[in-house]
Chains A and B, each alone.
Chain A
Amino acid sequence: MNLLDIRNLSIELISNEQNILAVDKVSLSMKEGEVRGLVGESGSGKSLLAQAIVAVLDDKWHVHADRFHWRGIDLLRLSMPERKAILSRDIAMIFQEPMACLDPTTTVGEQLAEAIDSSQLSGFFWQKQQQRRAAVIKLLHKVGIKNHSACIKSYPHQLTEALCQRVMIAIALARRPILLIADEPTAAMENTNQGQIFRLLSSLNQLKNMAILLISHDLENITHWTNTITVMYSGQFVEAGTTEQIFSKAMHPYTQALVDSSPMANQHLPAKSRLMTLPGSIPILQHLPIGCRLGPRCPRAQQDCVKAPSVSNFHGHKVSCHFPLLPSPKAKKSKLQKTKSQKSHKPSRVPND
């Protein structure tokens, strides 16, 4: 059974003049103990999607989904407080900019202590304070902070960015979540710290069988740590598959461009030659193109691309494109036919439910 199953989730920004569809029908599913990467340029709605999953978006964002299941529970049928209770019990999130996500007027120790669920503590109420403190120290050790007494007493502005990030991870782990959403956990961090954080996350995944949704703009970096990857562009679903499929057999022109733009995958390129990049930049929210939002930048765009493509499933490798890059000659043939006779031979289409 899927841990998390989201189908066609849309997020709309409610404003006075015109509502903006920031995230347009994105599907995401996760299995127990899976590490999934969520990749896209900045502004592609990855963080929004993550915040919608943990239900912390404020009133001006309107979230709508066709299906939103968590471990078999249909969350859409539950009221908001019930949904919130289930989500905050099982899902934890590490936010971007750890410094801004810690209350500047409260000590780190207090903020950690309040994240610990009192059901984890046994004993009478006069023992709870002590147990809570012991649990805080244990959590800090778990994320690799050895000098716990100094850390507990200090305020967020007295710690470095990397330490704050570790504290944020400790807070996220305090509830013993089943799914951890890490939103750019290593942004603005040096390489050594990045490695430590990723190793910490992957050890948690292996020891505790904790599923991790790793959000990043850096495709090349997270391929070392993920089992599966979902790619987004400008609020639309692009491609999903195993890391191997995405990195070596990308079907969507955008994913292909992402892979091509990374220097690691292009070591055969002669020195001082240009890296492949897509022309242009990601569209702003006020001027989103209709249909496939990659259209204006896509090297393979044709007239059909003014209509939004539906998701095709090639043995678990899902892609949302009218003209995917198909590797085998047979598939190429079918694609040629399709261009002639308008998508009649698409392999196993996923119904839009």
Chain B
Amino acid sequence: MSVPEATSHGYAGAFRVIPAPASWDVTPNLTDYGATRASFTWEAARAGLEGLPGGGLNIAHEALDRHVAAGRGAHVAIRWLARAGDRRDFTYAELSEQANRFANVLANLGVQRGQRVFSLAGRIPELYVAALGTWKYGAVFSPLFSAFGPEPIKQRLAIGDGRVLVTTSALYARKVAGIRAELAGLAHVLVVARDGEEIPAGTLGLDGLLRAASDRFATAATMPADEATIHFTSGTTGKPKGAVHVHEAVVAHHITGSYALDLRPDDIFWCTADPGWVTGTSYGIISPLTHGLTSIVDEAEFDAEHWYQVLDRERVTVWYTAPTAIRMLMRAGADLARSYNLSSLRFAGSVGEPLNPEAVVWGTEALGLPFHDNWWQTETGGIVIANFRAVDIRPGSMGLPLPGFEVGIVDHREDGGVSVIDRPDVDGELAIRPGWPSMFRGYLGDEERYRKAFANGWYLTGDLARRDGDGYYWFVGRADDVIKSSGHLIGPFEVESALLEHVAVAEAGVIGKPDAIAGNIVKAFVSLKPGFEESDALRRELLGHARQRLGAAVAPKEIAFLPALPRTRSGKIMRRLLRAWELGLPEGDLSTLESS
């Protein structure tokens, strides 16, 4: 179905609608949006998976063993492209055996079902084996981004009560060894050591443990509501939030992969996200494997030419990437893209932050396909709103709700509740009716925050958006002070806390400063304690201090001094005012500002 091009309310964007193709070489999984949405049920979606006897459900069974039992064990599940240039294929049968070995390693170590297994590693095969083996065992998997510094790592391991950590010997030495003593609950650290690297004291070599373990394991009889995965995300205040996801989430990972990414078993799929973030797990591990396809895992960091080589040489058919990378590719120019053979590409998707309309359109020039933006977040576990292959694209819009999701725009009332805004083109908070299988089931150890995320039967996303007259959703901004940088959420409090640990810092306020490539970059404002003078040397020292504690992914990119930071009468630092100053915007209502 095509959505009408313009109505009285309808499309007001500056970019022309990109119509869905009139005919197909490969028919999309979702061809009639309206009819599919009308007839959709989660029960029917669940029937697309196998399940375990007795009503059980386990992510690893759906991702691996189901395909092996169906005779597709020899199909390549993961094609790993090592940074050094070599590549290694893992078939479904091999990956299943490796996951079995990992599950047996957990058993041999005395790990209990339901305990938490963390990972801190780049995109190496062992990370995928650990995730799948953990689910198979019935333990809970929690990935950490390898560019985190020691402080974010320590906090997350503590909040998640991590029992096992899978990492590399290099990352262990650099980021974990120094905080190990503060993590009493962390019983086992399993390290991957490469080319003659030593196994650090206090850790066990994963390779040897895997070799010694049996390659047979009977998948734990997990139930749909059993805890499976913890993904950490950030709020405006307080500690990072550990969003709890359950095995049943796999139903959403599978069906959204089918509708929003058009995945099918003969695809070569490349999700460029790191599994340290939710996209790299939901769509970098689970969804591609439940579809039985071949997934590309590229260990190297972003590089324009290398990325086009991967798309070309591996004959990638579906590509799921992020705005920051797309904007970097745009800098390299459409000519570079056109010098490669990208003819196997059928679909290109983007997620992480709103994709600017120029970038959507640039896709048609450079790849012959528009980028299809979609929207979701850690708490939703999977894609909620998307631009589909078979539906017209309004560049700059996040698209239409997926089948199975009731989405609305709500307004906050004086009494603390919310009311639905029915009229189109009105800004409000984006909200979703609870009940989808990949919905988060709690924030670890923070019942209160979880409760506050719901009102009047809606889950409140914290994103501001509006819906146009034809039902397309448009991102407006964040409802809070959380910073979206390169598609990752960064909590200002976490950054401020690290800066306040420095002896010279009296106050710190952290904001997102708009950036043409990253969307936003983290910028910190600090005031100094008496006896300290502003200087470039001190600015650099603070920058280095923050980078050492937080890592490149979280640390500020810019630090500026202020004599004092603006505060409300209740003493809270007014990040919004800092942002207004930075952007040269009107300062708005300052009635609660402390008069100084």
Partners in one complex: no
Residues of B within 8 A of A (CB): none
